[in-house]
A and B are shown apart, each in its own frame.
Chain A
Amino acid sequence: MKHRTFFWFILPTLSAMVLFIALPIVSVFIQSLFVQHEQVLVVSESCGPFGCVEETQVDTEATAKLREERPLGQFNGLATYFDRSHLASAEIAEVWRTSTGLSSFIDGIMDLKFYKALVFTLTYTFVVTPLVLIFGLAVAVGVNNLPKAFRGVAIFISLLPFLVATIVGSMILSWMVDGEGIIGATLQNIFNDPSLSIKASTPLMWIMLMVYGVWHTLPFAFITFYAGLQTVPQDTLEAARVDGANKWQTMISVVVPHLMPLVSFVTLMLLMDNFRVFEPLVSFQAEAHAQSLSTFIVSDLREAGNPLYASAGATSMLTILGVVILLTPVLIRTWRDFNAKVH
């Protein structure tokens, strides 16, 4: 294909991606470097019968005008990145100085908003991802063992949790585990503790969110592995059986190695999607117990009246940095493979 033709064919999609994905990232970066204008203060002297008092007032008109003229705010450099609600360098140094041991240091860090969100996001990602891989493979093997007639139904049912909107799926689950919902009430009966409530306890909320994560993403791993199982070479399986391998040994030494490329693909997708966990926290109304980096950004943008663009921008850049770090190993491998193919 000629360069010219290629250009015209690719133009619409490329311009959509550049304008609405690449440029916004630049725009986020620029926003993160600025901070909102301080309010314009006017000092006036008001004199009454008991002498004169100096009054400081906010000149709303001038403030509004300034904000109108330069909506980005004033240049702040990287200061937002290191302030109290982000990397909090000063606070960390303080915690480091005053902490008496590892646990008090960790407690001190967990008091900081950004680190709390980061810890939750990472825990969620690294708990949900392996669980989904393991259970997804187990269910795939199980469905593959089913008689052919039942497989279609099994796949249909399995697809539901994955394809239903995250916010809707997590809302359905949150009603069920509510203190008055079926699962919540049953749990209260089993443990004989009427005050047991997932919405009131941080550890339970974390567990619930991760259970939801597994429920929601397991089908993706399952479907991919199930498709992979259809391509396992029958000869190799036969050979393993002739050599006396039992089912379990065949699974470990023949099937799993055959699925390995799929495992790395699914891991890549799961890492990307789990790291941006957002909707379940909205549906479970979990903000008191768990914040992820994404909900952190949204709460800044929703700040009534004046959205904190700088703060949201800084968190966004740090999130993108997190994604890059997570995906680097995979990208390096793709790059090596590509070079190996070329040379």
Chain B
Amino acid sequence: MVLSVRNLSVSLGGTTVVSDISLSVAAGEVLMLLGPNGAGKSTLLKAVSGEISSTGRIVVGGCELNNWEPSQLARRRAVMPQRVEVNFPLTVEEVIALGRPAVFRGCVDPVVQKLMEALDIAQLRHRLVPELSGGEQQRLQLARVLGQIIDTPGQRVLLLDECTSALDPAHQQLVLEFVQRLAREQGVGVLAIVHDLNLAAQFADRLIIMREGRCFHEGCACEVLTPSVLKAVYGYRARVIPLPEGYPVIVPLGSGPVQRAPSKPSCRQAS
């Protein structure tokens, strides 16, 4: 296991936000976290990355999180937060280089070049980050995060909090395919929060769906993404259609109880 979490709980301001979660990610595995807003996904990820204090055990690459030397940890575990705001005129290349070891400072770093090409931002390399679109910034941050661990030998973990939320569908595919390939080919363990159920179905090896700070269900896409689970967790009515590609597609059917009357008042008046 490159990442193992046992009985993790987090309290923020007296409220228990995450309670008693245990999970593990194997080398080369992509584990995705699902759940409605406020289910505690981001809090869980922050606790696992050591940003906020928690109770329970977190083991990264066979060593307790708190025992890691920060600079060593940064080469084996990379974290992509939901939002990174850059107000200062740094270029794309400079931001990616921040994740790279200091030895590459001042000379051409082939890894930076490779990552920019893979994530389709090579043409932006000299642009200032605050001028970029949301999707471009998201790809840039992912490139920075991947640069931290991509050429480290041995066990590595990638923690991603909604890394595709600002991307167009084509770039979503590009980015997640790249992450998946990194897992398959290099054995990086990935723990990612996603909101898009179809992306989760397509790219996750395993899914955990959370509700009110707890793990509601865990398993592969066909086990977790069922109409009954989605109804129970999100109150979301959906049809789940298995595809020949080996993963299901989720078609939404509207929210709440089965609608007999139109919900728009104006329509009701007209009838």
Partners in one complex: no
- Show the binding face of B for A, using Cβ within 8 Å: none
